Amino acid sequence: MEKKHRFIISGGGTGGHIYPAISIANELKERFPNGEFLFVGAKDKMEMQKVPQAGYKIEGLWISGIQRKLTLKNLAFPFKLLSSLWKSYRIIKKFKPDVVIGTGGFASGAVLKVAEILGIPTLIQEQNSYPGITNKLLAKQAKAICVAYDGMEKFFPEDKIRLTGNPVRQDLIFVDDKRLKALTYFELNADKRTLLVLGGSLGARRINELIEKELDVILQLGIQIVWQCGKLYYDKYKHLNEIENVHVFAFIDRMDYVYAAADFIVSRSGASSISELCIVGKPTILIPSPNVTEDHQTKNAEALVKKKAAILLKESELEEKFRNTFADLVSNDELQEDLSKRIHKKALPNATNVIVDEIERLIGVRK
């Protein structure tokens, strides 16, 4: 009788941790249709909704990060940590996983730490070019560490590192074939070039303010705009849909189509976004959020800029530099082509398959 494999997958707090975890689970389910799957996340975080929507069971831990400012919430952290370690122990002893997979976030830290103590193999999937403290602490005992950037031996044991890339939606791999359908879907003018503006599903206040301020300048360059302003900001900007060649959305459901339609992209530089941008290979201006742990969005962007694969503008530089930088990009065909080629070279489109190959090796299914 074939063994029924059991997998615990933990990651959450943000979509950048949750969606890679779900992608890995989906591929594992393809290969192990009789397998059992359990997610572990943080109570009251978005994974408690997103994971069940994807069809998986999830257990929640009472855990959150330490606030950078001196706050009363930090006083609860030791109690939350002990509670999470104890619940993780009970979950693992009851579920008896063959492997525990962590994609980041404080919940994954507790689960992987207990698994390591109990001698269960663990795999870390690190999305960013600068890892968070949780993954750095777990790395010594992990059996494998799947990364998306070169040079990660600065942070992790070199013999455990596997350069796999980040899991991304497979419908992004051949977006150029969808361009005509995309133009029709978004009711775009086929004779105009398109700027795609992305600030994440919730939106990015500073990027939205920038685009609103520079709207006339962008339109005067003959560019039409597809602008995902985020659900928190849609009511503020939806009236701009009345302007010709401006298309404002709270959320874009067909990312394959919108990438296919885009000629230029302005985006945040979260790990998942960077991986998608590399695959679609369009000239990109990255505007990192300065309000994230370890300033990892800036470090992600700098990793591409070092390869001359993207343009980086910090929020503090937007007033001074955006207008000229964007105009220069629009007018310079050679720069556009160079940026497209170089960013596309960084693409690792088979990340999910390679990560799951590594998981199979850990549980003895693959040599």
For the residues 247-264, what does the mean pLDDT come to?
Answer: 96
| Predicted model pTM | 0.88
Tell me the HSE value of 367 on the side-chain side, using a 13 A CA sphere: 0
Cα(111)–Cα(115) distance, rounded to whole angstroms?
Answer: 6
Q: DSSP for 119-183? A: T--EEEEE-SSS--HHHHHHTTT-SEEEESSTTGGGTS-GGGEEE------GGGTTGGGGHHHHH
pLDDT of residue 75: 66
For the residues 187-193, what does the mean pLDDT come to?
Answer: 98
pLDDT of residue 67: 54
Cα(202)–Cα(189) distance, rounded to whole angstroms?
Answer: 27
CA angle 256, 262, 264 (to 5 degrees): 135
For the residues 352-358, what does the mean pLDDT come to?
Answer: 97
Cα(132)–Cα(280) distance, rounded to whole angstroms?
Answer: 27
Q: Which comes out higher in pLDDT, residue 358 or 292?
A: 358
pLDDT of residue 203: 78
